[in-house]
Amino acid sequence: MERKKKVAIIGAGPSGMAQMRAFESAMKQGEDVPEFVCFEKQSDWGGQWNYTWRTGVDEFGEPVHSSMYRNLWSNGPKEGLEFADYSFDEHFGRPISSYPPRTVLWEYIAGRLKQSDLRQHVRFETVVRFVNWDEDTQLFTVLSEHLPSQETRTETFDNIIVASGHFSFPNAPEVSGIESFPGIVHHAHDFRGAEGFADLDVLVVGASYSAEDIGSQAFKMGAKSVTASYRSRPMGYDWPKGFEERPLVERFDGDIAHFADGSTKRFDVVILCTGYVHKYPFLPTELALSGPNTVYPEGLYLGVAWDANPNLFYVGAQDQWFTFNMFDAQAWTVRDFIMGKTPIPVAAERAASIAEWSAKFDAISSEAESILFQGEYVRDLIDRSDYPDFSVEEAAQIFIQWKSDKAKDIMGYRDLTYRSVITGTRAAKHHTPWLEELDDSVERYLATDVEPEREARSA
């Protein structure tokens, strides 16, 4: 009898949870799945969606994983991320809106695994310190630490699945003079809420999702002014009064920011919305993926298998239009590789596939094309495994529609609804417009006795 394979999954966020779900799904069909252990440094699963008030390092001195803030609502329609094997309707028992707050999404992803016994596979509060590959034994050595006891432990595994995400380690460039800016300076990663920014002048540095959403939060919470500073081009939304975009902040002189167009403005708060970097402190150079953040990161066969050593896998390492459903498609694919249901092709064949996808990736010239590229990628994965089929193509169209809806009304787009590509259900119109809702709790969100607004707010 062959020795049972041992698999280590690093991270129990949406990607790691998808991976466990994939193994569970095979198990339920009576297949003999490998032994798997999921290492999670937090005390609960959910990854980014596991909100913490802590910033910087956690209660054990480890870098805080989640970049989530209290009042975050999904910034993309939930119809683009719905699990094919666990619909929103199934979880909530009735239609909900298209842009739920974080607590609601957290309930949904945790809800899928609630009926399973997957929790027993997770070693919580356990950080992976280092992974080594032994060419002789063809095994990985994993050195981990149980944080509460500080006990370190060494084990071997046949496969490693890196599911630790890439929106946790801030990219925070130096700005001249920032060291003596007298107010609060944070990276978006450490932003927890804008309630304290009421009546303040807030600068968000950046022109991507963090700047857009944290700036909008500050606006919503009553900031005196919100200024977003862009390096190459403005977000260009039709911002409300009190929200403006300026070119790059080049230096600070005390609390005065100097912008590339020569203009200046005084600020109370600076939030660096300057993105995240790929960082895998537990991997040796030769196994570690590095930036930039794209829909087709280099070195991964089918976006999951580390080409230089395909015993190592990454789930969720791409820049993301598709999220939970893409992680599922990847997790099922990885499972099939590890279980030998799908053989991993030889190097030349992998190289050909990588070349083909790279060419498609290089040809992308718009956001819509980027969405379609990722749709095509997810479709390819789904066709390879027994993950329940769904219309990836319709989901891609929802993302394209979303981009257009957002461009029309940046403060109102979250009040719109879309149709599920899994169940066909049209999302419910929410009882309160996003801009007016200050209570983001699940209880309030799911409440049915709330007087709905008579008419939608005009942008």
Measured CA to CA, the distance from residue 359 to residue 372 in angstroms comes to: 14
69 binds a second copy (CB under 8 A): no
222 binds a second copy (CB under 8 A): no
196 binds a second copy (CB under 8 A): yes
- E-state strands within 294-345: 300-301, 305-306, 312-314
Contacting residues for 180 by C-beta, under 8 A, at least 6 apart:
252, 254
72 binds a second copy (CB under 8 A): no
* Closer residue to a second copy (CB): 33 or 283: 283
53 binds a second copy (CB under 8 A): yes
Closest CA to 227 of 250, 251, 257, 254: 257
Q: Are 168 and 194 in contact (CB under 8 A)?
A: no
203 binds a second copy (CB under 8 A): no
Work out how close the CB of 205 gets to a second copy at its nearest, in angstroms, rounded to a whole number.
14
Q: Are 246 and 160 in contact (CB under 8 A)?
A: no
Find the part of the chain contacting a second copy (CB under 8 A) among 142-150, 236-244, 317-325, 373-381.
Answer: 142-150
Work out how close the CB of 301 gets to a second copy at its nearest, in angstroms, rounded to a whole number.
21
Closest CA to 323 of 160, 212, 207, 166: 166
Contacting residues for 186 by C-beta, under 8 A, at least 6 apart:
55, 269, 270, 271, 272
Q: Is 390 helix (H, G, I), strand (E, B) or coil?
A: coil
Give the residue, chosen from 27, 28, 32, 56, that forms a contact with a second copy under the rule CB under 8 A.
56
336 binds a second copy (CB under 8 A): no
Measured CA to CA, the distance from residue 307 to residue 287 in angstroms comes to: 10
Measured CA to CA, the distance from residue 12 to residue 109 in angstroms comes to: 11
452 binds a second copy (CB under 8 A): no
Work out how close the CB of 82 gets to a second copy at its nearest, in angstroms, rounded to a whole number.
28
Q: How is the beta sheet containing 312-314 ordered, strand by strand?
A: 122-123, 35-39, 6-10, 159-162, 312-314, 305-306, 300-301
Find the part of the chain contacting a second copy (CB under 8 A) among 106-114, 172-180, 210-218, 379-387.
Answer: 172-180
Find the part of the chain contacting a second copy (CB under 8 A) among 83-91, 177-185, 230-238, 298-306.
Answer: 177-185
* Closer residue to a second copy (CB): 199 or 389: 199
Give the residue, chosen from 28, 31, 55, 367, that forms a contact with a second copy under the rule CB under 8 A.
55
303 binds a second copy (CB under 8 A): no
Work out how close the CB of 384 gets to a second copy at its nearest, in angstroms, rounded to a whole number.
32
258 binds a second copy (CB under 8 A): no
Q: Is 60 helix (H, G, I), strand (E, B) or coil?
A: coil
* Closer residue to a second copy (CB): 151 or 393: 151
Residues 273-302 that bind a second copy (CB under 8 A): 277, 279, 281, 283-285, 288, 290
Give the residue, chosen from 24, 190, 328, 415, that forms a contact with a second copy under the rule CB under 8 A.
190
Instruction: Tell me, by CB under 8 A, how many residues bind a second copy.
Output: 53
What letter would DSSP give residue 240? P
The two structure tokens encoding residue 418: 């879309």
32 binds a second copy (CB under 8 A): no
HSE-up of residue 76 (Cα within 13 Å, Cβ side)? 20
Q: Please give the residue ranges that form the binding site for a second copy (CB under 8 A).
A: 51-57, 59-64, 70, 129-130, 143, 145, 149-152, 169-170, 172-174, 178-187, 189-190, 192-193, 195-196, 268-269, 277, 279, 281, 283-285, 288, 290
